[in-house]
A = this chain, B = another copy of it.
Amino acid sequence: MRRFSLIVLAAAAACVQPPAQAQVTLSGTLDLGVKSVSNTGVGSQKSMSSGANSTSRIIVNGREDLGDGLWAGFHLEHGLLGDTGAAASASKFWDRRSTVSLGHSRWGELRLGRDFVPSYNNWSRYDPFAYVGVARSANVVSASPTGPIRSAFGSNANTTVRSDNAVQLLLPGGLGGVEGSAMVAAGEGGAVASGLAKVIGLRLGYATKTWGVSAATTSSENSLTTDGKFKDTAIGGHAQLAGVRLTAAWRQFDVGQAEQVLWLVGAVYTQGVHEFKASWTRSDMSGSVGTTVLGANDASQWGLGYVYNLSKRSVVYASVARISNDGASRYTITDGPAGMAAGGSSSGYEVGMRHRF
């Protein structure tokens, strides 16, 4: 096996004449670590984790300049579990993104295919842990596989993160700090069993060099959301103070009589190669799913993290997090031992390394 059969130039300057336009790019991330999670009453469990700092992935993408500000491009992104070598999604190899785009420097971008929904986009950017690792805000998102609002989507793929079959319009750059996007996805007449949902979403933001605010809303319906659309709204903001990036965000899921409100406060302090991260997330449930009253399903989580940047591409990191559950709530950090009783606490830590290529 020849390892370096394909030699790649890291800078255009490597050649005397600049290379013509790049047609395709192969890049990605591999991130692995060791992790331990303890849950009240059921002990602890060690495991190897993938993507605790940044999801392990492979990206194949490219862009073609068509002249006069017009361009075409594509983006395929495959998530993988580096600890076992498995694809992150058994049914969708390019689960993270699969889009083709036609764009113009002044008119924005028309993007077709599978991508993040606007509300997810507008929430995860304010999570200092980027929705991954022991301290990810996803741990207390009830629309994830563990929570009661999840029943709106049965056991199949939902739209709290991404949507298939989407048409998006994205605002161009150069609008004086205004950015935004609109998404529509076809339900394709399918039942939820195939993960299909009719989606409509919007995102609008404004940012300067030191602060920004943005809001998004996404509405989905499929054969399981029989008592009305599933609504997902996220509002957030950030401010840069000295070396600290402060973030705050609010997200609300609504379906039928059930509602979940999430609060997130985060801080990232960067000093040279050191990065310190802290987050606090709170989930408040209300209403009901069928005859199950959700009011006593609240939980809160805090997380702390440290990242040492070996280079722009390679880091080592450590994180610690703890979830406190109230009442019937039993949110846990993933990969811990099963069987924690309601109202228990889940705590965990991880140490790992991330390499981008």
A241 within 8 A of B: no
Question: How many A residues touch B, CB cutoff 8 Å?
Answer: 99
Name the contact of A112 in the complex, choosing from B32, B46, B66, B81 (C-beta under 8 A).
B32
Provide the A35-71 mask, 1 if CB < 8 A to any CB of B, else 0. 0000000000111100000100111111010100010
What residue in chain B is nearest A80 (Cβ atoms)? B94
CA distance A312 to B204 in the complex (A): 35
Number of copies of this chain in the oligomer? 3
Task: Choose among A4, A8, A186 the residue with the greatest number of B CB atoms under 10 Å from its CB.
Answer: A8
Please tell me if the beta carbons of B34 and A58 are within 8 angstroms of each other in the complex.
no
Verify B113–A98 contact, CB threshold 8 A: no
Residues of B within 8 A of A64 (CB): 311, 313-314, 355, 357
A residues 164-220 touching B (CB-CB < 8 Å)? 164-167, 185-186, 188-189, 195
Q: A186-B34, A188-B45 are in contact. Are A356 and B5 (CB under 8 A)?
A: yes
Chain B residues positioned under 8 Å from A62 (CB to CB): 357
B-contacting residues of A (Cβ < 8 Å)?
A: 1-34, 45-48, 54, 57-62, 64, 66, 70, 72-74, 76, 80-87, 89-100, 102, 112-114, 164-167, 185-186, 188-189, 195, 310-314, 316, 335, 337, 352-357
- 4 cross-chain pairs, A with B, having the tightest CB-CB distances, nearest first: A10-B20, A85-B94, A85-B98, A72-B314
